[in-house]
Amino acid sequence: MPRLQISPARPVRTAITLVAVLLVAGCAGEGGTTGAMMPAGNGASVSAPNGTGNTVVKIFVPGSSQAIGAMPKPPLISTPAPQIFSGAAPITTPPPAATTSGTQSGGSAGGQVLAINVSGPATITQTVAVGPNASGCSPAPGGTNCQLTLNLPVGTYTGTIGNSTIAFTVAAVSNNALNLALNAVPSQLQIVPASAMSAQTAQGSVDLYGAGKHALLVEALDANNNVIVGNAASSFSMSQAGGSLPLSVTQSAMSPNLFYVSAPSSSSSSAILRANANYQGPSNPCAQAGSACRGTVRVNLRQILGVANSNINTVALYVNGQTTPLATIQGITNPQALIFDGLGNLFVASQPGSVNVYAPPYNQAPTTIASGVNRPQALALDARGNLFVANGSGSNTVTLYSPPYAGRPSQIISANVDDPVSLALDSNADLFVLNAAANTVTEYAPPYTGAPTTISKGLFAPNSLALDSHGNLFVANLNSTPNSVVEYAPPFSNQSAPVATISNGVNEQGTIGLSPSANLFVPNQGANTVTEYVAPYTGQPTTIVGGQSQPIALAIDSLGNLYVANYGNNTVTEYQPPYVAGSWTTYATGISAPLSLALSPATNSGPTLLP
């Protein structure tokens, strides 16, 4: 199974409510600052620093288990010593009988019993008593402070404490803590990330990483900045309240304060989300003086950059603007091509014969497509999620797979296919196959069973192709004299000839790409440059230089940032428009012999166009 490495996140706000908890620094009742980012999922194969981390669970229990009044600020907990449970091996004790609240009276006089069920690198099934006379608890103004310590191996965990589902990360430090309060008046309501595929910024907004559904939580904090758990009969709502980034919001059936948010496509705009909390019964905390049961947050969408590292057999994932990988997928064999679908699923073509499909947050075992796959060299996806795989090395086919991608290919395209090295789909789902050995591009109309249209005029050892939003076809000629990129205009026929030949600045080009505005970008391995051409592509190009060595592939994000894979010096270099000479950012950590780049959500900047 591939292993996922998640880099330590910078401090963000905590997500702890009826559904999830984050690790925080500080003490319950102290208003301590929050710490690490909510992890993604359970059962992940995670590569993390070795060792263990002390995770202290701190719970403030009001004088009455049903108390809802505001809690005085309790002091730091010093004595008695906390209850300690080792997480090095599974720990199992009989849990208390299930109750509607997830707690049980009778653990001690005037106390309650909490069930702890957590799994991850270690498993803990334990019951603990909280209350005035319980071990690990001490008196505090207005109630009792309780503390227990879990000595856990470093990694990510999910499970429940009482009636609360939790998820948290243990770092190799001594001050991991979960700060909770049983019942309180909310002094603020906030929307926070609930997976590794999103994060809270220093400005308090939430960044969503890549396409797909992103888990967000609505959490209530008391006046001391503790996360409130235990308020009964609560309900939550979330909706878009503004902004030009269109979002889809759905509520989880698992818990009332867990929501999933997704954006339909890449965008540089933002949105405003609003959340509301409501409680039923005579002790409604939202009816108390000073309560706050409504909150908003600004949401931004940031693309993920995937890098296929052929030398170290990994795919590294970066958030645009961050040079340290968000995650690294290992256990891949010689990755050749990448593509993301609209749900954020990552498809990786690996030699000698497989395509692996990784679902966000990319920490689970992939779906493997092997039947009919032989030396895959390129990938493409249509709007329905159908996958097209270009198979070289004597196979000379394009195989088609439909979701969920199990079993044999649903179709095999072989007519006039000869060493296919690049694929693209237009808005009509017509498939374009670049045949390097035959010096042709063949076009197949759905359902791909008829004779193809064959374009051959003007092609000399073509090595990549791209389509713009109008259906114009661009093909890179590696062995023409001089090296060139030729353009063809639709409709295409067997007699189609180039309408433009672009050669100024072209030198042993790699995989070409198009920006959203249809500017053509050509990576020139022979000159260590990228040249940009503006329609109608007859003028002098803009030459982008700096940091490049054998530039072999490129991608352009929704902001116009250009990413270049440099095979020669094991880097990816980023250039911001207008691509001023001498200004670039270098990505080097986790990169070795990069062959392919892909963005999620996709823009039409790569060798394939997702209609």
Full DSSP string of 42-80: SS--EE--SSEEEEEEEEEEESSTT--SPPP-PPPP-SS
- The position carrying tokens 């003086």 is 289
Write the CB contacts of 46 (distance below 8 Å, at least 6 apart in sequence). 3, 4, 5, 6, 121, 155, 156, 363
Tokens coding 209: 């990483």
Q: What is the pLDDT of residues 343-377, one digit of tens each?
A: 999 999 999 999 999 999 898 899 999 999 999 99
From CA 77, how far away is CA 143, in angstroms rounded? 13
Tokens coding 240: 């878009």
At residue 162 the predicted structure's pLDDT band, cuts being 50, 70 and 90, is: low
From CA 360, how far away is CA 163, in angstroms rounded? 27
Q: Would you say residue 158 has pLDDT above 80?
A: no
Q: How do beta strands 112-119 and 155-161 pair?
A: antiparallel
Contact between 315 and 596 under an 8 Å Cβ cutoff? The reply is: no
At residue 445 the predicted structure's pLDDT band, cuts being 50, 70 and 90, is: very high
- Pick left, alpha or beta for residue 121 (phi over 0 → left; psi -120 to 50 → alpha; otherwise beta): alpha
Q: What is the pLDDT of residues 539-553, one digit of tens each?
A: 999 999 999 999 999
Q: Which helix (H) or strand (E) holds 484?
A: strand 484-488
Q: Would you say residue 26 has pLDDT above 80?
A: no
Q: What is the mean pLDDT of the segment spanning 468-491?
A: 94
Q: Would you say residue 45 has pLDDT above 80?
A: no
Contact between 419 and 508 under an 8 Å Cβ cutoff? The reply is: no
pLDDT, position 589: 96
Q: What is the mean pLDDT of the segment spanning 102-127?
A: 69
Contact between 571 and 544 under an 8 Å Cβ cutoff? The reply is: no
CB atoms within 10 A of CB 320: 17
From CA 533, how far away is CA 512, in angstroms rounded? 11
Q: What is the pLDDT of residues 81-97, one digit of tens each?
A: 333 333 333 323 233 33
- Percent of the chain at pLDDT exceeding 90: 55
Average pLDDT of the chain, as a whole number: 81
pTM of the predicted model over 0.85: no
pLDDT, position 538: 87
At residue 108 the predicted structure's pLDDT band, cuts being 50, 70 and 90, is: low
pLDDT, position 440: 98
